[in-house]
């Protein structure tokens, strides 16, 4: 893609502030034989929830020489880096996340050609590409690979009976675990379980339930949840998060359990799954004991 076209794309998405960085990356790619492709993903390529002034720039950097990207050497060539770090990303890979200047947030998922192709073929990359992607630079002719494996559209989460049974048992087990930590005085551990571990399970249940019960297009990682979870669930969610306070954590734990139970029971009925009644009754009995 020509650089003039890239600038036009920036203007279309209202991201002129990233033009300079993007163009420097593309110029670098054209002069570095190791770089095989640069592909934009995320809000800059979406049509359903478009980029705004708070959007970042998300890129796949496909290269046979990943180390200078991970070390920070190459990212520093594209502007003044104020913050930079590495974190795990899809398919067991890593990404370099940078803030250029004060607010230009650029995420670079650095993968070898083999890693990228595997992520696309195995479906790992689909959750971050199915709402849109834009090939900015490509010497590998990835168009066919992407069009064959990335199906544009909404997310349709699935779960089989065995996985559902395991998740529900896991949830109720950690309900009891969190209550024990709370009673012991381990407030931090209890709160992190309630507002992190159990919330991940609750979010998965909300995704499954809303998709199956209402045919709603759900987003990964809770993105835009207030738009698709529904008014009733959103209202209940307000009760499920806690301040760093023993009674508040207890209330949030109970509210989290009640919402998860309601949705998981209805989801099991929709799917025709047998519900883990023993696990539910065990958790309820422990709650009643602790509330005396």
Instruction: State pLDDT tens for residues 193-235.
Output: 999 999 999 999 999 999 999 999 898 888 899 999 999 999 9
What residues have CB less than 8 Å from 223, skipping those under 6 apart?
Answer: none
Q: pLDDT tier at 51 (50, 70, 90 boundaries)?
A: low
Half-sphere exposure of residue 105: CA atoms within 13 angstroms, side-chain side: 11
Spell out the alpha helix ranges (H) of 132-245.
143-149, 161-184, 187-192, 198-214, 225-228, 231-237
pLDDT at 186 over 70: yes
Provide φ and ψ at 102, rounded to 5°. -105, -25
Q: Could you tell me which residue, 113 or 16, shows the higher pLDDT?
A: 113
Pick the CATH number of 3-149 from 1.10.10.200, 3.40.50.2300, 3.30.460.10, 3.40.1180.10: 3.30.460.10
DSSP H or E stretch at residue 285: helix 277-290
Domain boundaries, given as residue ranges, for the chain: 3-149, 161-290
pLDDT tens figures, 12-26: 444 578 999 999 999
Instruction: Give the pTM.
Output: 0.82
Please give the CATH number for the structural domain made up of 161-290. 1.20.120.330
Residue 195: DSSP 8-state: I
Report the alpha-carbon distance of residue 241 to residue 249 in Å, rounded.
8
Average pLDDT over every residue of 101-110: 93
> Average pLDDT over the chain, rounded to whole?
90
The radius of gyration computed from the CA coordinates of the chain, to the nearest angstrom, equals 22
Report the alpha-carbon distance of residue 210 to residue 215 in Å, rounded.
7
pLDDT tens figures, 53-79: 778 899 999 999 999 999 999 999 999
Report the alpha-carbon distance of residue 50 to residue 115 in Å, rounded.
28
CA 169 to chain centroid, in Å, comes to 24
Average pLDDT over every residue of 19-45: 93
Q: Is 59 helix (H, G, I), strand (E, B) or coil?
A: strand
**Beta strands of 55-103 (E only): which ranges?**
57-63, 81-88, 94-100
pLDDT at 184 over 50: yes
Q: pLDDT tier at 1 (50, 70, 90 boundaries)?
A: very low
Report the alpha-carbon distance of residue 56 to residue 104 in Å, rounded.
7
What residues have CB less than 8 Å from 81, skipping those under 6 apart?
Answer: 72, 75, 98, 99, 100
What residues have CB less than 8 Å from 112, skipping those under 6 apart?
Answer: 62, 63, 64, 66
Average pLDDT over every residue of 251-276: 97
């Amino acid at each position: 893609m020509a650089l003039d076209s890239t600038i036009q794309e920036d203007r279309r998405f209202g991201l002129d502030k990233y033009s300079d960085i993007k163009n420097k990356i593309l110029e670098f790619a054209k002069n570095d034989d190791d770089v095989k492709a640069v592909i934009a993903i995320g809000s800059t390529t979406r049509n359903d929830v478009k980029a705004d002034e708070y959007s970042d720039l998300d890129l796949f950097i496909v290269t046979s020489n990943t180390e200078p990207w991970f070390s920070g050497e190459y990212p520093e060539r594209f502007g003044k880096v104020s913050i930079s770090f590495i974190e795990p990303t899809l398919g067991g890979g890593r990404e370099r996340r940078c803030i250029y200047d004060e607010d230009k947030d650029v995420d670079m998922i650095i993968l070898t050609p083999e890693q990228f192709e595997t992520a696309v073929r195995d479906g790992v990359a689909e959750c971050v590409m199915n709402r849109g992607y834009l090939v900015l630079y490509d010497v590998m002719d990835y168009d066919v690979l992407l069009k064959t494996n990335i199906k544009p559209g909404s997310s349709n989460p699935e779960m089989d009976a065995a996985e559902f049974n395991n998740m529900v048992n896991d949830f109720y087990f950690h309900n009891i675990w969190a209550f024990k930590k709370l009673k012991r005085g381990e407030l931090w551990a209890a709160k992190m379980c309630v507002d992190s571990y159990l919330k991940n399970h609750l979010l998965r249940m909300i995704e499954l339930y809303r998709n199956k019960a209402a045919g709603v297009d759900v987003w990964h990682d809770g993105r835009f949840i207030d738009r698709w979870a529904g008014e009733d669930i959103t209202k209940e969610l307000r009760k499920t998060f806690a301040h760093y306070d023993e009674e508040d954590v207890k209330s949030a734990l109970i509210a989290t359990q009640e919402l998860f139970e309601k949705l998981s029971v209805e989801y099991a009925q929709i799917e025709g799954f047998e519900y883990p009644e023993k696990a539910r009754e065990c958790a309820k009995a422990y709650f009643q004991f602790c509330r005396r």
